[in-house]
């Protein structure tokens, strides 16, 4: 029988890294070098999205070649995709909206889930199911930091992963929010670097993202007031 995974520990690891890179694969072959670049850049997490037909095979390759990279499935729209990605080695599922069937399947199967939430009604559904972590998407289009601050009143126990329009420049402001546990997005994987298979470019983007995140994570850990 499969060993029960420790979702609280995985969540802590994400919080410690502070960044969840969105990976949309352009081929099966690029999965491993791209994930290795994330790891080398200090961001050993990959949210491989179902936005390309290479997602599942890519997950399998990353899982077998780079077992230390925390593998998540992104843009999961249904239970079939969730099941297939866990079978391919993913430890977590990220959804663009609050999909009840996917969330409940994850909860029933002890799979870490970060459901997409944008409005208080979505956050309430997550909260009612006992979740205290969710994705906030699309962050910039739905009011960004201002909305997160507003949500911190009624949902004081909830922490978010803002994604959608998060970049190197605004990631600091997001991370400084007390209800943000990490930021997500495609910015650690610049599309030009990916197209050119310039893995060093991805290493650099990840190092820069970490450079921004690290002092904020440290300050938050020590309850140092920065904003």
Active site (annotated) includes residue 135: yes
Rounded to whole angstroms, the Cα distance separating 131 from 122 reads: 11
Q: How far is the CB of 213 from ligand 3PG (least distance, A)?
A: 15
The verdict on 115 binding ligand 3PG (CB under 6 A) reads no
Contact 32, 62 (CB under 8 A): yes
Q: Which of 30, 60, 135, 140 is catalytic?
A: 135
* Options 170, 186, 193, 194; binder of ligand 3PG; rule CB under 6 A: 186
What is the Cα Rg of the chain in Å? 16
158 near ligand 3PG (CB under 6 A): no
- Within a 13 Å sphere around the CA of 204, how many CA atoms are in the beta-carbon half? 8
Instruction: Examine residue 164 and tell whether it contacts ligand 3PG (CB under 6 A).
Output: yes
**Does residue 162 interact with ligand 3PG by CB under 6 A?**
no
Quick one: which of 41, 92, 96, 188 contacts ligand 3PG (CB under 6 A)?
96
Burial 167-178 (b: 16+ CB within 10 A, else e): eeebbebbbebe
Angstrom distance (rounded) from CA 11 to CA 135? 13
- Closest distance to ligand 3PG from the beta carbon of 182 (Å): 12
In whole angstroms, the minimum distance from the beta carbon of 63 to ligand 3PG comes to 21
Total residues found in the chain within this entry: 227
Binding span for ligand 3PG by CB under 6 A among 2-10, 11-19, 181-189, 198-206? 181-189
Binding segment for ligand 3PG (CB under 6 A), chosen from 59-67, 145-153, 159-167, 174-182, is: 159-167
The full DSSP string for 105-133 is HHHHTT-EEE-EE-SHHHHHHHHHTT--E
Site for ligand 3PG in 17-56 (CB under 6 A): 22
Structure tokens at 34: 């791209």
Residues 187-206 contacting ligand 3PG, CB under 6 A: 187
Q: Residue 221, class by beta-carbon neighbours within 10 Å (0-12 exposed, 13-18 middle, 19+ buried)?
A: exposed
Site for ligand 3PG in 57-86 (CB under 6 A): 75
| Residues belonging to the active site | 47, 135
- Residues binding ligand 3PG (CB under 6 A): 22, 75, 96, 137, 163-166, 184-187
């Amino acid at each position: 029988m499969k060993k029960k995974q420790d979702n609280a520990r995985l969540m802590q690891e994400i919080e410690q890294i502070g960044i969840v890179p969105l990976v949309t694969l352009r081929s099966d072959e690029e999965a491993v070098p791209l994930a290795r670049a994330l790891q080398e850049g200090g961001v050993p997490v990959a949210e491989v999205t179902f936005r390309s037909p290479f997602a599942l095979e890519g997950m399998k390759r990353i899982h077998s070649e780079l077992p230390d990279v925390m593998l998540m499935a992104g843009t999961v729209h249904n239970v079939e995709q969730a099941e297939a990605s866990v079978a391919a080695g993913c430890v977590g599922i990220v959804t663009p909206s609050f999909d009840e069937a996917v969330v409940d399947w994850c909860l029933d199967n002890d799979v870490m889930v970060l459901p997409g939430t944008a409005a208080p009604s979505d956050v309430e559904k997550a909260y009612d199911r006992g979740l205290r972590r969710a994705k906030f998407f699309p962050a910039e289009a739905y009011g960004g930091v201002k909305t997160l601050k507003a949500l911190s009143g009624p949902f004081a126990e909830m922490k978010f992963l803002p994604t959608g329009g998060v970049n190197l420049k605004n990631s600091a402001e997001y991370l400084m929010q007390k209800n943000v546990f990490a930021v997500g997005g495609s910015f650690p994987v610049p599309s030009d670097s990916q197209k050119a298979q310039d893995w060093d470019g991805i290493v650099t983007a990840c190092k820069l993202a970490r450079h921004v995140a690290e002092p904020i994570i440290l300050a938050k850990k020590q309850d140092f007031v920065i904003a």
